[in-house]
Amino acid sequence: MKKCTVHIVGLSPYSQSRKTDHVPMKDRESHDDYDKRVWRDKCTTTADGVVAIPAMGFKQALDSVAYKLGEKVPNRRGATYKNFFASGVLCEADAPIHANGKMLKPGDAHPVTISANADGVRGSGKRVPRTFPSFSTWEAEPQFIITDDIISQSVFEQHIKSCGMIVGVGRFRPEKGGLNGRFRVTKIEWEDIVL
Of 10, 61, 17, 13, the C-alpha closest to 43 is: 17
Q: pLDDT in tens for each of the 195 residues of the chain? A: 999 999 999 999 999 999 999 999 999 999 999 999 999 999 999 999 999 999 999 999 999 999 999 999 999 999 999 999 999 999 999 999 999 999 999 999 999 999 988 777 777 878 899 999 999 999 999 999 999 999 999 999 999 999 999 999 999 999 999 999 999 999 999 999 988
The number of C-alpha atoms within 13 Å of 88 and in the hemisphere containing its C-beta is: 18
Domain holding 71: CATH number?
A: 3.30.70
Tell me, what's the pLDDT at 118?
79
Contact 97, 14 (CB under 8 A): yes
Residue type, 173: R
What is the model's pTM? 0.94
Taking CA atoms, 115 is separated from 119, 172, 178, in Å, by 12, 13, 14
Taking CA atoms, 94 is separated from 1, 79, 124, 140, in Å, by 21, 30, 32, 10
Taking CA atoms, 139 is separated from 42, 44, 184, in Å, by 19, 15, 10
Which domain range does residue 43 map to? 2-22+29-192
Distance of CA 117 to the CA centre of its chain: 22
Of 157, 188, 155, 181, the C-alpha closest to 167 is: 181
Tell me, what's the pLDDT at 121?
79
Q: How many domains does the chain have?
A: 1
Residues in the chain: 195
